[in-house]
Amino acid sequence: MTIETSGTTEAIKTLCIDDVPANRKRGGDVRTLLSPGTVGSTAGFLGTVRLLPGEVVTEHLHPYSEEFLFCVEGEITLRLDGQDRPVRAREGVMIPIGVRHRVMQEGTEPAFLVFFLGPLAPEPHLGHVDTEPYPEGSTA
């Protein structure tokens, strides 16, 4: 698909979840689908998380971005600054800038979530602060 913008033609990319590799460093199957690196976005990025029973995404925070987390399938426990809350399919949560958060799949069924973060940090390495060690055996 293309769009005409100010006399120039600019390609708009469509990506499939299978087009980007899984990042398992922080736990689960995390895929950053639409980002500055994949589509040239300038305002934020969107991705997915798939968690099997017993999996977690380790605690972290975003010093520049709000995170919008939507549970598509399953149910997870979301820990926000040490407080646990269930998030079920068809529910969304906005995680404010600087709030520590951890995603846990404590149930018996897989969970699938979509996330969006914005605005972008001034530099990619400043956008994510880990607050606990990575899970044992995790891979990037």
Q: What is the pLDDT of residue 140?
A: 59
Q: 77: number of CA atoms within 13 Å, CB side?
A: 16
φ, ψ dihedrals at 139, nearest 5°: -135, 150
Residue 78 lies in a domain: yes
Question: And the tokens for 27?
Answer: 């736990």
**For residue 112, what is the domain's CATH number?**
2.60.120.10
Asked if residue 109 belongs to a domain, the reply is: yes
d(Cα 112, Cα 24) in Å, to the nearest integer? 15
Residue 10, domain member (yes or no): no
Please report the pLDDT score of residue 138 as a whole number. Answer: 72
- Is residue 38 assigned to a domain? yes
Give me 65's structure tokens.
């971005």
Tokens encoding 15: 């990506």
Domains: count for the chain: 1
Residue 138 lies in a domain: no
Residue 3 inside a domain? The answer is: no
Q: Which domain holds residue 121?
A: 16-130
d(CA 139, CA 132): 16
H/E run at residue 39:
helix 36-39
Residue 125 lies in a domain: yes
CA angle 67, 69, 73 (to 5 degrees): 165
CA distance 31 to 39: 14
pLDDT at 10: 64
Q: How does pLDDT run along the chain (140 residues), one tens digit per residue? A: 555 555 454 678 899 999 999 999 999 999 999 999 999 999 999 999 999 999 999 999 999 999 999 999 999 999 999 999 999 999 999 999 999 999 999 999 999 999 999 999 999 899 999 999 888 777 65
pLDDT at residue 21 in the model = 95
- Position 64 scores a pLDDT of 97
* Kind of pairing between the strands at 56-61 and 8-11: unpaired
Q: Is residue 1 part of a domain?
A: no
